[in-house]
């Protein structure tokens, strides 16, 4: 299928051929940026900084709002591009485009409110003013699981703050990124202020971005292992970093929960994007009194999910991103079953073959199993039984990760106690999805540094400068 948003990027002599994970078919071939190309792009971004940062917040907001409108006007084609290269069902891809645009609209507004401060002085002859200024050129490295929204969530606050940004999208999903860049051009965002660099050599390009002295900040979404490497590489030039890394989200259901709501929350939290989000529920802890009832009802709902090509009507669960992902998920499932897990549903690659994995439900999981510690990143729910609140909170926190956690309960005292005790950056209480542009998204522990979205998100791209105005007399 030819995409009109990508016509300027078609390059049959290029060296990156993007594949559809549902069919294995080639979607499109595009050019490759070398480390040397990226070096030149960094210099141009730096040259664009004075003019872009001097524009008023209102002026940048007008450009960003045009970008937001164009993204929404092109929602259908963008969704088709997402589905073609990332595999998620079209309905989810449409949702992602709207989610992605919401960050552009939000930060267009926030850019106008990047207020500083006047601090009551310590000396009558002086005044203290705090101003916020754009940090400088920013680089982002973005993942394949949300190939539009994870870009706009970083680019919009950077641009709103007055910073140029260079984005290296995931090797598997560069087309959505290019389509977003095309719309940015149409909206009037200057070429050097926002550049996508597509490459199949992520290490080399990543090294330029993380070590270049002109780049002042790195924003990354991806695995904890890669995040640690990027943090180390960024250390020599002391860059500010935002890291949105892996998770191992607990999803706890207490005896007093609304069971129907918990089952629906579990379904969406686990099987969205075929389980390939950092905030997907990864470990289900169900209290004794409702353990069997929860599994029966959850299994009924999981069994109703339709596996298929994301472009087919009625598909709930698309393919995994590639064969390696299927192998990894399958190995975790096999090892759990060998260690005593009970297969309630699935447990194998899907009968369709290729990159499809059957929606799977495993019960009677114990903390010593490999699957209890790994970020599964696939359509596999693992269920643990628990008895006491203290015990389940300890188990939920027993991980180096701290991104998202969920729990269902109705007792008000318990709700507060558990919300406060969970060591996570985000907690969904009686909700299975917590992503929105208005709230701060991010993790603690080895799940990351910094927050995206919300009124806090723009601060990641600004420096605070304290000015002491002295000699003013009394």
Q: How many residues does the chain have?
A: 474
Which of 144, 146, 298, 377 touches ligand SIN by CB under 6 A? 146
Closest distance between ligand SIN and the C-beta of residue 207, in Å?
23
Residue number of the CB closest to ligand SIN reads 435
- DSSP assignment letter at 155: H
Tokens of 147: 């190939």
Closest distance between ligand SIN and the C-beta of residue 244, in Å?
6
Residue whose CB is less far from ligand SIN, 80 or 152: 152
Q: Which residues contact 135 (CB under 8 A, 6 or more apart)?
A: 161, 163, 216, 217, 240, 461, 462, 463
Residue whose CB is less far from ligand SIN, 421 or 434: 434
Which of 6, 30, 183, 278 touches ligand SIN by CB under 6 A? 278
Which of 20, 46, 48, 145 touches ligand SIN by CB under 6 A? 145
CA distance 143 to 321: 11
In 254-317, at which residue ranges do the beta strands (DSSP E only) sit? 281-287
Burial 378-398 (b: 16+ CB within 10 A, else e): bbbbbbbbbeebeebbebbbe
Closest distance between ligand SIN and the C-beta of residue 272, in Å?
8
By 3-state DSSP, what share of the chain in percent is helix, strand and coil, each rounded to 5? 45, 20, 35
Residues from 214 through 233 that contact ligand SIN (CB under 6 A): 221
Closest distance between ligand SIN and the C-beta of residue 429, in Å?
17
Residue whose CB is less far from ligand SIN, 386 or 424: 424
84: exposed, middle or buried (Cβ count in 10 Å: 0-12, 13-18, 19+): buried
Residues from 80 through 99 that contact ligand SIN (CB under 6 A): none
Closest distance between ligand SIN and the C-beta of residue 293, in Å?
29
Closest distance between ligand SIN and the C-beta of residue 282, in Å?
12
CA distance 405 to 369: 20
Residues from 231 through 260 that contact ligand SIN (CB under 6 A): 244
**Span of 126-134, 195-203, 272-280, 463-471 interacting with ligand SIN by CB under 6 A:** 272-280
Residue whose CB is less far from ligand SIN, 45 or 279: 279
Which residues participate in catalysis according to the annotation?
244, 278
Which of 224, 277, 330, 447 touches ligand SIN by CB under 6 A? 277
Q: Which helix (H) or strand (E) holds 29?
A: strand 26-30
**Span of 182-190, 260-268, 273-281, 308-316 interacting with ligand SIN by CB under 6 A:** 273-281
- 234 within 8 A of 450, measured Cβ to Cβ: no
**Span of 211-219, 256-264, 276-284, 295-303 interacting with ligand SIN by CB under 6 A:** 276-284
Residue 435 makes contact with ligand SIN by CB under 6 A: yes
CB atoms within 10 A of CB 123: 11
Cα Dmax for the chain: 82
Measured between alpha carbons, how far is residue 232 from residues 35, 294, 446, 463 in Å?
A: 19, 44, 14, 21
Q: Which helix (H) or strand (E) holds 385?
A: strand 380-386
Residue whose CB is less far from ligand SIN, 210 or 435: 435
Closest distance between ligand SIN and the C-beta of residue 412, in Å?
28
Interface positions with ligand SIN (CB under 6 A): 145-146, 221, 244, 277-279, 435, 441
């Amino acid at each position: 299928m030819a995409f009109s948003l990508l016509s300027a990027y078609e390059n049959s002599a290029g060296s990156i051929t993007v594949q559809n994970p549902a069919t294995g078919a080639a979607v499109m071939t595009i050019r490759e940026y070398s480390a040397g190309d990226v070096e030149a792009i960094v210099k141009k971004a730096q040259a664009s900084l004075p003019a872009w940062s001097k524009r008023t917040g209102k002026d940048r907001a007008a450009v960003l709002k045009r970008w937001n409108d164009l993204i929404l006007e092109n929602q259908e084609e963008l969704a088709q591009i997402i589905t073609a290269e990332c595999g998620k069902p079209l309905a989810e891809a449409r949702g992602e485009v709207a989610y992605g645009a919401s960050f552009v609209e939000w930060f267009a507004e926030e850019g106008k409110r990047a207020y500083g401060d006047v601090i009551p002085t310590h000396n009558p002859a002086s005044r203290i003013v705090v101003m916020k200024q754009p940090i400088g050129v920013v680089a982002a490295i973005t993942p394949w699981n949300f190939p539009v929204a994870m870009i706009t969530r970083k680019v919009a606050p950077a641009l709103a703050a007055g910073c140029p940004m260079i984005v290296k999208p995931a090797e598997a999903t560069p087309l959505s990124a290019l389509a977003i860049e095309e719309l940015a051009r149409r909206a009037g965002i200057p070429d050097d202020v926002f550049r996508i660099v597509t490459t199949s050599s992520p290490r080399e390009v990543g090294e330029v971005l993380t070590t270049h002295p002109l780049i002042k900040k790195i924003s990354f979404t991806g695995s904890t292992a890669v995040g640690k490497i990027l943090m180390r590489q960024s250390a020599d030039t002391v860059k500010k970093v935002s890291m949105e890394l892996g998770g191992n989200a607990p999803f706890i259901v207490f005896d007093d929960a609304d069971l129907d709501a918990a089952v629906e929350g579990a379904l969406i939290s686990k099987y969205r994007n075929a389980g390939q989000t950092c905030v997907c529920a990864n470990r289900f802890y169900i209290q004794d009194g409702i353990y069997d009832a929860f599994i029966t009802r959850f299994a009924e709902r999981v069994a109703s999910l339709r596996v298929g090509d994301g472009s087919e009507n009625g598909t709930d669960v698309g393919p995994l991103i590639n064969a390696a992902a299927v192998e990894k998920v399958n190995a975790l499932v096999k090892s759990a079953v060998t260690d005593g897990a009970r297969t309630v549903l699935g447990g194998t690659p899907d009968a369709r073959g290729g990159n499809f994995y059957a929606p799977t439900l495993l019960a009677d999981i114990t903390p010593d199993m490999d699957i209890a510690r790994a970020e599964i990143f696939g359509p596999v729910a693992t269920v643990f039984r628990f008895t006491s609140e203290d015990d389940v909170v300890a188990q939920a926190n027993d991980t180096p990760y701290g991104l998202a956690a969920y729990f269902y309960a109705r007792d008000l005292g318990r709700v507060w106690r558990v919300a406060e005790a969970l060591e996570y950056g985000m907690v969904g209480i009686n909700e299975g999805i917590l992503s929105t542009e208005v709230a701060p998204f991010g993790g603690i522990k080895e799940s990351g540094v910094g927050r995206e979205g919300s009124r806090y998100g723009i601060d990641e791209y600004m420096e605070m400068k304290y000015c002491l105005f002295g000699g003013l007399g009394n």
